[in-house]
Each structure stands twice: as C-alpha cells, then as structure tokens.
Amino acid sequence: MTTNPFHTGSIRFRLLVAASLSLLAALAITFFVLTNLFRDTVTRNFDIVLMDHVDELLSLMQRHEDGSIELNRHPADPRFLKPASGWYWTISVGNGWNDRSRSLGANDMPAGGPSIASGDIRPHHIADHSGQLIRIIGKQVHDPNIGRELTVLLSGPAVVVEDAVADFNGALLLSLAGIGLALVLAVVFQVSFGLRPLRAIGKSLAAIRAGDATRLEGDFPDEIAPLASELNALLDHNRHSIARTRTRVSDLAHALKTPIAVLKNTADELSGPEADSIRDQVTMMNDSVNHHLAQARIAGTAGLIGARTPLRDLAERLRRTLAQIYADKALNIELHVAGNPVFRGEHQDLAEMLGNLMDNACKWAASRIQVDAADDGHGLLISVSDDGPGIPDDGRDEALGRGKRLDESTPGDGLGLAIVRDIAGLYGGTLDLASGPQGGVSARLRLPAA
C-alpha cells in the first residue's frame, strides 16, 4: 500500500512543516533585524552629512570691522540651489541678520520640532512648504568672533534614506528568499534521507507479509536497529507459537481419536437400542472433535504473517487426485485459472477448503466439474461448479450448516461445507452457494489475495 508522504498525518509532513515554519520565523526575524540595522546606519550617515554642512556654514561666517556679518560664500553643493529640493539651510544671528539657501526661495525653514537650546539640535522630520518630508538638523552656538548667538538649521529630503532602505530591502528579500528556498530543499533532503531507514523497514514488512521474506534484513542505524530487532523477535515468537499450537492440536487429536475408536468398536460389537444410541453418540463426538480441532488449528494459522499459497499448482494436484478417487465416474474436471493467483494464507487451509469443495462437487456431479479462479482486484474468487441435481434455493443456507446433509444417500458427515465456511470466515472470506452454469451447484469462495 502506497501512502501520500505529504499527508497531514505523516512524519515527513510534520517534520517539513515544523522546519519550514522555523525557517520562516528565523528569516522574518533576520529581515526585521537587518533592515532596522541598515536604516539606523543610513540615517546616522545621513545625519553626519547634514552636520558636516552645518560645520561648513559655521566656518564660512565672517564679521567685518564695521560689525556687519556675512558668509564668505554659499556652500558649493548644487542641491542647495535647486528650488524645493529638500536641501535647505538657514543662518540667523541674534542681532537680526539671517541668510538662507536659494533652494528655499522666499520660504522660511519649516517651524516645529524640538525646542532650540544651546548645542546641537536633535534631528527630526517635518514637511516643508512643498509638502515633502525633510529631516532637519542644526546647531546653536555663541561665536566669540561675532559676539552673537548663531542658529544654523540644515535639512535634507527624508526620501534619500527611504529610497536607500527600500533598495536594500528589495535585495535583502531576494537574498533571503533564495537562502530560504535552499534551506527548504536541504530540509527536504535531510528529512527524506533521515526517514529512509523507516521506509526500508516498511518495505521489509511488506515483503514479510507477502511471504517473500521471514525477517527484517538490512543495515539499520543505531536508532532503528532496536526496533528491527524487536520486530524480528516478535516474528520469531509468532512462528514458534503457531508451531506449538499445531503440535498441541495434533497431540490432542491423537489423544481423542483412540478412545473414540475404542468406543465405536465396542458399540459395533453390541446390538439393540442401547448399541444404536452409543453409536450415534460416538459419531456425534467424533464429528464435534473433528470440527473443533479443525477450528483450533485454523484459528492458530489464519493470521500467520507472510503465509501465501499459489492456487494453480494446488488445484492441479487436487484435480489429479480426485480424478483417481472417482475414476469409476469418469468425471471431466476442468480448471480455468486466470494468471497465477496467490492466496494470502496457509497452504493446508487452502487445500482443505478447495479440496472439500471439489470433493463435494465430485460426489454430486454427473460427468463434469468446472473450477474457475482469478484475482479480480478485490481478492481471490474461486468457483466450483458441477452438473449434478443442484440444491433448491431454500435449502442452500441449510446445506452450509454443520452436520447438515440434504441427501443421506451420498456418503459423508455433512461437515465439509461448514468447515470451508468457517476457515474462509477466519480469513475474512465468504462462501455462498448458487445455481451453476451446468445446472448443478456453484460454490463461490471469496478469499484474500496476496
């Protein structure tokens, strides 16, 4: 039987899901940590660039002898010249003098953010006059050369940081996706390789059940070897138990048949009603002993693991034997066996079932018996038909009963069909009677196939 390795109940599925979820969580955490580290690094470098421009502006301040203040020159960075570029600067002095970058035009630096105190101005984000988000940084100092408090504000567009982070995130996502795919493939290989010994055990057990092997054979890893050893011990114990059961049943049969034979011989030497009663009771005892001994033997062998019996050769041997036994009837026994069907059970049990059916057909047949057998995909189907007088519909169930004989003129104890039915039942099979194609009875036996 094949199973879906990705079924929700399989070990492989559980291992793959657990590993995949773990990898997904690890990659998500990695992405979150790396993207935040990169954003912090880019933002810190951006602030350094802005502060360098602040220091540049401070170095360009000059006071003339008449007390006026001016910049020697504007910063050379062309981004401070482009209107609404987000790159702005302003300088204001305590006496009211101020200057600004050409990129601001007639607009003022956006107000807001942290309060201005002596020292560096903490970087913050705010929208400029055009609506774009800018990052402002600055410094307020007392310049002894000028003798005034100076406030320098400088900004750059926040999109510079966001674009760099977006580019990094895109590359990071592609990299982590590739790494994740490689790791998932590695996990699939690891799980498949790790579970290979279990698949080997499964195949070995299937071979044992099919009868192709008797023990688990193979070089199993240390973790699996104890399991294989215990299974082999269980199989050995099962075989030994079956052997002991057969021996004890055989011993019991010999122990009971001798006293019964003595009672029968003693009754045969007597006459009168009492002798007839004893003979009847002895016959009933003999029938019951045979029936229950057969049941005990069958119960001990029906579930034997790995038992299998090819049908074709057995049917051919039974055909030759019965042809000799019923040579005086000159019966034509035909075999129609499709392929090479195999019974999943003991040879002796199949021989008893098929032998009883064929023997019963030979007793009632006029001239012809037909045995059909095939594996129809649902099991082994065997049909034994004869051209005898047949059985009425209302008498078929009674004919399958233990010790029931619808015609006392034919020799037999009435146990044959009942034994076949009981053996088949222990294997999960069935036996039923129907009208045969030749006008007689067709006994149809359904059994498990190997």
User: How far is 357 from 339, CA to CA, in rounded Å?
Assistant: 21
Are 301 and 348 in contact, with CB atoms under 8 Å apart?
A: yes
User: How far is 326 from 57, CA to CA, in rounded Å?
Assistant: 126
Longest CA pairwise span in the chain (Å): 164
Bridge partners for 370 per DSSP? 334, 385
User: How far is 417 from 444, CA to CA, in rounded Å?
Assistant: 11
Give residue 446's pLDDT.
92
User: How far is 44 from 30, CA to CA, in rounded Å?
Assistant: 21
Give residue 93's pLDDT.
82
Give residue 119's pLDDT.
63
- Angstrom distances, CA of residue 14 to CA of 22, 25, 186, 201, 443: 12, 16, 16, 20, 50
Q: What is the dihedral of CA 40, 44, 46, 49, to 10 degrees?
A: -170
Whole-angstrom distance between the N-terminal and C-terminal Cα of the chain?
12
Give residue 65's pLDDT.
67
- Angstrom distances, CA of residue 133 to CA of 50, 86, 269: 15, 8, 125
Burial degree of 328 (CB within 10 A; 0-12, 13-18, 19+): exposed
User: How far is 406 from 391, CA to CA, in rounded Å?
Assistant: 9
Give residue 404's pLDDT.
47
Give residue 294's pLDDT.
64
**Residue linked to tokens 């009677």:** 433
Give residue 24's pLDDT.
92
Give residue 58's pLDDT.
84
**Binned average pLDDT, 10 residues per bin, the chain of 450 residues:** 56 85 93 95 94 88 72 87 92 80 88 63 87 90 72 92 95 94 90 81 76 73 79 80 73 74 76 75 74 62 67 91 89 89 86 90 90 88 88 64 46 63 86 83 88
User: How far is 230 from 441, CA to CA, in rounded Å?
Assistant: 49
Give residue 304's pLDDT.
57
User: How far is 354 from 348, CA to CA, in rounded Å?
Assistant: 10
Give residue 439's pLDDT.
77
Give residue 155's pLDDT.
93
Are 379 and 449 in contact, with CB atoms under 8 Å apart?
A: yes
Sheet of 148-157, strands arranged across: 98-100, 88-93, 148-157, 133-143, 119-127
Q: How many CB atoms lie within 10 A of CB 89?
A: 26
Give residue 398's pLDDT.
64
Give me the helices (H) in 305-375, please: 311-325, 347-364
Q: How many CB atoms lie within 10 A of CB 126?
A: 15
Query: Which residues neighbour 281 within 8 Å (Cβ) at sequence distance 6 or greater?
Result: none
What does pTM read for this prediction? 0.53
Query: Which residues neighbour 170 within 8 Å (Cβ) at sequence distance 6 or greater?
Result: none
User: How far is 282 from 258, CA to CA, in rounded Å?
Assistant: 12
